[in-house]
Amino acid sequence: MTLRIGNASGFYGDRFDAMREMLTGGELDVLTGDYLAELTMLILGRDRLKDPAAGYARTFLRQLEDCLGLAHERSVKIVTNAGGLNPAGLADAVRTLAGRLGIPVRVAHVEGDDLTAAHPGSLAAHAYLGGFGIAECLSAGADIVVTGRVTDAALVTGPAAAHFGWRPGDHDRLAGAVVAGHVLECGTQATGGNYSFFGDGDGDVRRPGFPLAEIHEDGSCVVTKHPGTGGFVDVGTVTAQLLYETGGARYAGPDVTARLDTVRLSQDGPDRVRIEGVRGEAPPPTLKVGLNRLGGFRNEVTFVLTGLGVEAKAALVREQMGDALAESPPADVRWELVRTDRPDADTEETASALLRLVVRDPDQAAVGRALSGAAIELALASYPGFHVVAPPGKGAPYGVFEDVYVPHDAVDHVAVLHDGSRLSVIPAQDTLVPETLEEPSLPEPLPEGPTRRAPLGLVAGARSGDKGGNANVGVWVRTDEAWRWLAHELTADRFRELIPESRPLKVVRHVLPGLRAVNFVVEGILGEGVASQARFDPQAKALGEWLRSRHLDIPEVLL
């Protein structure tokens, strides 16, 4: 007995037509949509400040208006975290929509994640719930289940638990569903999107299809996509997504701790990857709570430096801006000179470099008119060719994210069924603190031989992302010979050497031999989280690709 679970959204703003594509492209039992991220919770929190009835992903409602009839005709259940900060409000809106369209659907929702009242000063504080509230809603007959903040994988573990009758102690089965959910949660990242070797697959990656998982009763699954859709699914695309925003071998969640070091992947045919062997352990005794608060105000201006004397021009404008802001300097001032210019360039744009100034301060006045006025007043009084990419604004608020942990019983996890009755979800009783595992044994080193200085990316793929103020960079190779080299060569020290901004930070390497991968966690590289925009690439999305572009001595036998 197989349960087919698809995904139609990896973030708030993903492809609008994906819901219709998934409902019409092939067989499905459940369609999920992931709309939430750390940054999204901040955005929804600001929406709710303006309108207490807001706080959910309105895009989902518009998609559903187009597709609710299709889902009903095909008996496809829909499970989504689009409820954000207001799942009850979105559930009511879905009922109103269904009534207007004349479509009989049963709508339930999950609540209890909102802990904002217990954390004064936070704009939004939400616990990451597991999938058993979703399971209760589906088991009671819901056609649509709306949640707030649950783990991304809960959108899959919940339907699987309901379908197969899994209980909280079924750790191996739940762990398999967690791994399937983690592969599906970012949509087309599992089907060739954002993939290091995107040119190597057979599919057209201009418009990758969204993924689905065929889940079996023992927790194993096959990841695939609808026939005829773009992109491709292979062991590499699934490996990349498994490494995304994870850390060590133990992947902890509210329902189970999945052991990523037990995952076995195999190609099961064209665009089909089998995932099996996943072991699970009892979940940790605490739940993660994401806290979002306003951190202050931010402004930026980018000066364009064209032609000769770029360094001298940059020095002049830095001194001028420093003098102008000296009376009341912002708390945080950052300059970055980006050398996009080329000598003897045949276009003005390629003859120009960019000098970026970013300022932050708790006081909007310190980063608003003070910066804007100082920059604009230099228009006729600075380096030759002075202009900026865009006029600086008044200063915009930025957010700060941090996570804290609370006991399971500190959260009132409730399934609000389609008939309005409320069912409390019993918190995990069997828990286990996820201690760090011993480092696995490494393979025999590759025999010494001739090497060539070349980019790491010629032999290794990578995917990177954010977790609060930390970033992770997963690096994997596709052959056993390359693994024998990578496991010994790409140490934490070598990572620091290749990524200079990580040198003052703590870098932890996790080894996953079953995936031929090493996963690095760089602590604090993103400052106070994505919303603080402390870095040029605030979500570390391209950190892995930067690493792949760095040169080192690679054995010629691998090239």
**pLDDT tens, 307-319?**
999 999 999 999 9
Contact 532, 398 (CB under 8 A): yes
440 within some domain: no
Q: Which residues of 427-447 are buried (b: 16+ CB within 10 A; e: fewer)?
A: bbeebeebeeeeeeeebeebe
436 within some domain: no
Q: What pLDDT does residue 535 have? A: 82
Average pLDDT of the residues of the chain: 96
Same domain, 344 and 251: no
429 within some domain: no
Model confidence pLDDT, tens digit, residues 364-387: 999 998 899 999 999 999 999 999
Domain boundary among 400, 435, 459: 400
The DSSP element (H or E) to which 370 belongs, if any, is: helix 369-376
Give the span between the Cα atoms of 142 and 506, in whole angstroms.
Answer: 46
197-201, 339-343, 496-500: lowest mean pLDDT where? 197-201
Q: Which two tokens stand for residue 219?
A: 């927790």
Q: What pLDDT does residue 87 have? A: 98
Same domain, 418 and 353: no
Model confidence pLDDT, tens digit, residues 250-293: 999 999 999 999 999 999 999 999 999 999 999 999 999 999 99
Same domain, 70 and 177: yes
Q: What pLDDT does residue 268 have? A: 97
Rg of the Cα atoms in the chain: 25
Q: What pLDDT does residue 297 have? A: 93
Model confidence pLDDT, tens digit, residues 182-235: 999 999 999 999 999 999 888 899 999 999 999 999 999 999 999 999 999 999
Q: What pLDDT does residue 368 have? A: 92
Average pLDDT for 430-450: 93
Local confidence band at 5 (pLDDT 50, 70, 90 cut-offs):
very high
Average pLDDT for 542-547: 97
Higher pLDDT, 7 or 393: 7
Q: What pLDDT does residue 536 have? A: 84
Same domain, 283 and 338: no
Q: Nearest Cα to 462, choosing from 196, 189, 236? A: 196
Domain boundary among 384, 400, 416: 400
Same domain, 488 and 535: yes
Higher pLDDT, 8 or 327: 8
Give the span between the Cα atoms of 92 and 325, in whole angstroms.
Answer: 51
- CATH number of the domain that residue 325 is part of: 3.30.70
Q: Could you tell me which residues come within 8 angstroms of residue 534 by beta carbon, excluding any fewer than 6 positions away?
A: 526, 527, 528
Q: What pLDDT does residue 529 have? A: 81
Strand pairing class (77-80; 30-33): parallel
Contact 292, 122 (CB under 8 A): yes
Give CA torsion, residues 534, 537, 539, 541, to 10 deg: -160
Q: What pLDDT does residue 342 have? A: 97
Q: What pLDDT does residue 250 have? A: 97
Q: 3-state DSSP call for residue 353?
A: strand
Give the span between the Cα atoms of 153 and 143, in whole angstroms.
Answer: 19
446 within some domain: no
Same domain, 229 and 112: yes
Average pLDDT for 400-427: 96
pLDDT at 557 exceeding the cut of 90 = yes
Local confidence band at 99 (pLDDT 50, 70, 90 cut-offs):
very high
Same domain, 169 and 116: yes
Give the span between the Cα atoms of 137 and 134, in whole angstroms.
Answer: 5
The amino acid sitting at 516 is R
Q: What pLDDT does residue 435 have? A: 87
How big, in percent rounded to 5, are the helix, strand and coil portions of the chain?
A: 30, 25, 40
Same domain, 280 and 305: no
Q: Nearest Cα to 246, choosing from 130, 343, 152, 378? A: 152
Q: Which residues of 276-294 are buried (b: 16+ CB within 10 A; e: fewer)?
A: bbbbbbbbbbbbbbbbbbb
Q: Which two tokens stand for residue 452?
A: 């060539």
Q: DSSP strand E in 330-395: where?
A: 332-338, 352-361, 387-388
Q: Nearest Cα to 263, choosing from 548, 491, 519? A: 519
Same domain, 176 and 97: yes
Q: Residue 19 is part of which domain span?
A: 3-290+403-424
**What are φ and ψ of residue 358, in 5° steps?**
-125, 130
Same domain, 115 and 249: yes
Q: Nearest Cα to 365, choosing from 417, 407, 401, 325? A: 325
Largest CA distance in the chain: 74
Same domain, 262 and 380: no
Model confidence pLDDT, tens digit, residues 499-535: 999 999 999 999 999 999 999 999 999 988 877 777 8
User: How far, CA to CA in Å, does 470 sit from each of 165, 194, 292?
Assistant: 37, 20, 16
Q: Could you tell me which residues come within 8 angstroms of residue 158 by beta carbon, excluding any fewer than 6 positions away?
A: 79, 130, 131, 132, 133, 134, 135, 137, 138, 145, 150
Same domain, 341 and 202: no
User: How far, CA to CA in Å, does 196 sit from each of 145, 246, 497?
Assistant: 35, 18, 22
Model confidence pLDDT, tens digit, residues 30-81: 999 999 988 899 889 889 989 999 999 999 999 999 999 999 999 999 999 9
483 within some domain: yes
Beta bridge partners of 555: 451
**Domain count of the fold of the chain:** 3
Give the span between the Cα atoms of 549 and 477, in whole angstroms.
Answer: 15
Q: What pLDDT does residue 519 have? A: 98
Q: Nearest Cα to 371, choosing from 358, 383, 384, 380? A: 358
